Structure 1
């Protein structure tokens, strides 16, 4: 036999054969016959080695020679019937698992465990928001991953679990993208089997406590979801705790990923305890023994306890002071591809009325949502002669009556500019509003109009407003990939599939801005005190790196005092999306210790303190899922002098977790590769001849992976 047989023989007491049958006494190495089973009284390691070197190796075991012990557990994909092909004698101890006591073979049971995790994990987010369930929501799935008899079933069920979860919880995206949201959900589901593979390997082969390995792998998976293909960092475990302030504070060091790490560790500890109790009396070597369970529980308790202690300490620090007085204005207009629920003129009148009412409280700044009403406010568009417009190929191709459209939109945009400029001067306050920017490039052969999603800051001193152009654009909502380059034909096909292109007639893709630069204001209510701020637009507040880029200066100092988030969530109807968006934005405030004011069409608008406290929310008395009303809220935004470790170094902790996840993957691949090579070598050695009777397969005592 091969190396694995040598090791197995060296470990087993003399005179004990496969299946627990004790052979009669004989000379070492002499074949014995008993009940039709060929066995050898185990020779020494050196005797086995000499047999292999001299070519006098025993013949391969016949299928009829194999008798599985009563407590054996064999994966379905590699059963005992393959022992005749020398598959049942594993070639490395890492490739053989002892009897683990619990082996789930039922598809129905694995599916039930996965659906239990779907239900529990869905309940921790809006609109349900039962955050304590976050500490057990992963336990059913983890139990299935660790105890399933067949690895392929684990990965198949993990993908089904991910697909069901994202299809169910991203259904609000269907309001804007229609059935095209399904590919995103099916893509995000891939991360569940990607996490299941190293998790199963680390627990079953390396015998690591789940309380340690699960948070590492889960945190690495969340990071990859946030960065791959533009990123979609939604439904993190940490987002369920946006109202649990003591738990949130660790985010200023580890990011939101640190909070997820702690929650996942508790899930792993619960699974450790369950596995230790279930398999303790049924297995020669349980998946998790009591010692491992105690280590896991201790690790999770330490993580949770240290996080809470750190959180209480940070909450009691006296570093937060009063900032400028702001008025956030919120409309409640649903948006569709066909148009808005109200005409642009009605929107402008209503927003202006709210601004006039809010002006009675003397705010230093009025904050309007992203694209509160359609307008293009940059000076290049407002002053473009009609004759130059007719030369623009993009304008002629996009609109049937391009001349009238251009002239009407130009007049409308100029009227909006005059309205906001005069309002700012009249009330001695700043006005921030989201609108489009169009820049003609008549000599650009690729695209003669460059459009941006911008935030304009109108000053009480008059003049042209400062502008920030959105840097992180949403795929298929604001930009279609492959627009320029060798894959341009693929771009045309993808563009035609999106609902916003009107069957490919309109190239709606925007261009990203050039920098995350700070804007400036002076608070009249504080004797002209100067402030610096950034304006993440729409889902830029979802991306952790955007808020950090605004906050962290290259000189190692904090370069903004607060952030203003403007968004238009009317594309997603009334439901859980608005509260989920607010929860994610709360993470950005704590990570960078900056106050955030939000103005969001359909909600939720309001104020977030640097420690994550929410206050003065518009429509806060309305239940989630029914819309969040309309109106305004005026309050002072808080500023914090602390410059966080997260602002300095970013997602270092999440990248470390992802690196350890990769190490676990590599270990899995290496172990499987070594096992395969040794099996091939043993198969070749077994075919060297010799008339000796064979040896039964000792690998049948274990679980093949």
Structure 2
């Protein structure tokens, strides 16, 4: 029995189970309760292992998680690169939970040799016989380390802030309000801390049965804080709805067009006219409903110079603004620079200065190190790719509304959106194309990430997407309207008419003002605990 418990390999099924549960916490299916189990499984599951064994355990769990989570990457229409990108990105992201387990084993140096039994049980007994203050400090430090590693993943190597632990709770409105103070990282901390505290309580209940109520000490503080966050969050959500009703805010009527065009068709010159005909037909239907603004998603959609003139003719006399995306070309000293850009064509027939996407997707919009490693271009069809923009923009739309456009992947970066938000804007306008990934979990996962940008910055979020999820979320993350077919599917072509309040007073959130201070403090705390433990890094 001892050998079985202490063998590293027999714990691998637990690591696989942990990875599967972790992936299931996110869309689809989005069983958010699973997220609370992941940190305790990673922590308790490695009791008695060496740090290198724990690293392997954490890496396996992380690899399983990210392979399942990012399974939609296999659908990219890039023959050589789709599976390679899926495996490579999953393998990279798996390093972060592996490091967390390694850190946890370093922070918790057990004096287990003084107890009889297997190594696993000796470590458990050692933990429950420590003082409450020592146990609580350890769990807080482990939660801080989790946040520090998520923060690192958001920034290292251009950053990949996809599916942080806290973003699994995106539909738990009272809970997610904490993001207005701490960003999504605060919710990751809370989920991790509560899960670890529950595991600690169960260990105490099992290994200190003589202390009948001692297990409750483990959960009192995190439970109290979670209840406080939920109570305050509920007040915030309801307060915003009361504000809307009291102000009687005027609205702007937006027509969001979702064409649902396959990415391969967008790349095929022979399909240009059929693609444009599809989005033009949807636009005609939308204009018949007399919106203030017509909004297209990210993508060219056959918008040649000739077809642009057709759209101008269609819009003439309608008093409707038009927001769309296309390439923006600029001549420079070395030739021409190409940008992925959003444009605003006014009801008066003026084409306003474009917004140029600032955060580009590696291998989707540019090829890293292409100058020195030109063979990398073989793995992607984008050719020379795009150049990044260098500043946010505001679109002053019909109906007196002001929108801050962001393009696709940009709205998953917590630290990237604050610069777009000022006291002038009424909502963020997200223009996205997840058609690369067919009809998959990618669209829902993208939305789950993007909703936090609304809460963090205290402004509404309108998203127009090629094939889902097109909709509108208010400044508290409440889903107000989404485009769906008669069976509830979000991938089909269609139009969504929404009336978004404008002119509501904007109160700057702590997160918008101070940014990732909470994540930075967590990183400092985890680092201090590592140094205090005299850990050789």
Given the alignment, which residue of 345, 353, 356 partners 1:466? 353
- Partner residue of 2:218? 296
2:232 corresponds to: 310
Equivalent position SS for 2:343: strand
CA displacement, residues 328-350 of structure 1 (integer Å, 9 cap, x when unaligned): 11011221499469922122112
Shift of 1:362: 1.8
Counterpart Cα distance in 1 of 2:250 and 2:479: 15
| Number of the residue aligned with 2:526 | 661
**C-alpha distance in 2 between matches for 1:307 and 1:586:** 18
Match of 2:70 among 166, 170, 173: 170
Instruction: Work out the number of aligned pairs and report it.
Output: 500
Separation in 2, partners of 1:653, 1:420 = 47
- The residue number in structure 2 matching 1:645 is 510
Displacement of 1:495 after TM fit? 2.7
- 1:428 pairs with one of 311, 319, 327: 319
In structure 1, distance between residues paired with 2:445 and 2:487? 15
Instruction: Indicate the residue corresponding to 1:357 in structure 2.
Output: 285
SS at match of 1:167: helix
Please state if 1:534 is matched with 2:428. Answer: no
Aligned equivalent of 2:389? 513
Distance (whole Å) between structure 2 residues aligned to residue 466 and residue 667 of structure 1: 54
1:549 is the counterpart of 2:416: no
Q: Which runs of 5+ in 1 are unaligned?
A: 1-72, 77-102, 283-288, 376-412, 524-529, 553-557, 674-705
The alpha-carbon distance between structure 1 residues 665 and 341, as it changes in their structure 2 partners (threshold 3 A), is: farther
Quote how far apart the aligned CAs of 1:211 are.
4.1
Q: Give the whole-Å Cα distance in 1 for the aligned partners of 2:214 and 2:98.
A: 25
Mark the CA change 1:131 to 1:623 in structure 2 (over 3 Å): closer, same or farther.
farther
For 1:652 and 1:424, the matched residues in 2 are separated by 46
**Residue in structure 1 matched with residue 376 of structure 2 by the alignment:** 494
Residue 330 of structure 2 is matched in structure 1 by: 439
Who wins on radius of gyration, i.e. which is larger? 1
Tell me which of 419, 432, 452 is aligned to 2:339.
452
Distance 2:395 2:260 in 1: 28
- Contact (CA 8 Å) 1:564, 1:598: kept in 2 or not? yes
2:30 maps to 1:129? yes
**Contact 1:211 1:266 survives alignment (8 Å):** no
- Separation of aligned partners in 2, 1:188 and 1:549: 27
Question: Structure with the greater relative contact order (CA < 8 A, sep ≥ 6): 1 or 2?
Answer: 1
In the TM superposition, residue 104 of structure 1 has moved relative to its aligned partner by: 4.1
Residues in 2 aligned to 1:543 and 1:463: alpha-carbon distance in whole angstroms? 32
Q: What residue number does 1:633 align with?
A: 496
Matches within 5 A, 1:138-157: 138-145=39-46, 147-157=47-57
Aligned residue for 1:580?
445
Give the Cα separation in 1 of the matches to 2:146 and 2:204.
22
Judge conservation of contact 1:369–1:601 (CA < 8 Å) in 2: yes
Contact persistence 1:276–1:290 (CA under 8 A):
no
Alignment CA distance shift 1:208-1:479 (3 Å): farther
How big is the shift at 1:219? 1.4
Kindly indicate whether residue 201 of structure 2 is the aligned counterpart of residue 319 of structure 1: no
Matched, 1:601 2:466: yes
Structure 1 residue 621: deviation in Å? 5.0
C-alpha contact (below 8 Å) 1:536/1:565 kept by paired residues: yes
1:645: how far off? 1.2
Map of 1:666-681 to 2, 5 A cutoff?
666-668=531-533, 670-672=534-536
- Asked whether the equivalents of residues 266 and 275 of structure 2 are also in contact (C-alpha less than 8 Å), the reply is no
Equivalent position SS for 2:228: helix
Question: Displacement of 1:372 after TM fit?
Answer: 4.5
Q: Give yes or no for contact 1:326–1:635 (8 Å, CA) kept in 2.
A: yes
Specify which of 248, 258, 264 is matched with residue 330 of structure 1: 258
C-alpha distance in structure 2 between counterparts of 1:194 and 1:115, whole Å: 17
Look up the SS of the partner of 2:497 in the other structure.
strand
* Residues 210-254 of structure 1: per-residue CA shift (max 9 Å, x gap): 642332121112111111111111121222222211111111111
Residue 23 of structure 1 is matched in structure 2 by none
Q: CA deviation at 1:439?
A: 2.1
CA distance in 2, matches of 1:638, 1:620: 25
Residues 279, 473 of structure 1: alpha-carbon distance in 2 compared, 3 angstrom cutoff:
same
**Aligned mate of 2:142, from 214, 230, 236:** 214
Shift of 1:428: 0.4
CA distance in 2, matches of 1:617, 1:231: 29
Q: Equivalent residue for 1:592?
A: 457
TM-score (norm 1): 0.67
Distance 1:476 1:664, change over 3 A: farther
Which digits, 9 at most, give the CA deviation of each residue in 1:342-381, with x for residues without a partner?
A: 9221221121221221223221111101114144xxxxxx
RMSD: 2.6
Whole-angstrom distance in 2 between the partners of 1:593 and 1:584: 15
SS at match of 1:665: helix
Distance 1:342 1:313 in 2: 55
Tell me the alpha carbon deviations over residues 468-491 of structure 1, each in whole angstroms, 9 at most, x when there is no partner. 0000111111112235xxxx323x
Shift of 1:672: 4.4
Structure 2 unaligned spans of 5+: 111-129
The CA distance in 1 between the partners of 2:429 and 2:212, in whole Å, is 51
Q: 2:309 aligns with which of 405, 418, 431?
A: 418
- Mean alpha-carbon deviation: is it higher for 543-552 or for 430-439? 543-552
8 Å Cα contact 1:124-1:133 kept in structure 2: yes
1:405-440 superposed Cα distances (whole Å, 9 cap, x missing partner): xxxxxxxx2223323333443210111011111223
Secondary structure in 1 matching 2:26: coil
Partners of 1:336 and 1:343 lie apart in 2 by 9
- 1:188 & 1:454 partners in 2: Cα distance? 29
Instruction: Say which SS state the counterpart of residue 474 (structure 1) adopts.
Output: coil
Give the alignment's TM-score, normalised by structure 2.
0.87
Q: Residue in 2 aligned with 1:187? A: 92
* Farther off after superposition, 182-191 or 352-361: 352-361
Q: 1:621 to 1:157 in 2, by over 3 A?
A: farther
1:265-276 mapped onto 2 (5 Å cutoff):
265-276=193-204
1:163·1:186 contact (CA, 8 Å) conserved in 2?
A: yes
Indicate how the Cα distance of structure 1 residues 291 and 466 shifts in structure 2: closer, same or farther if over 3 A, else same: farther
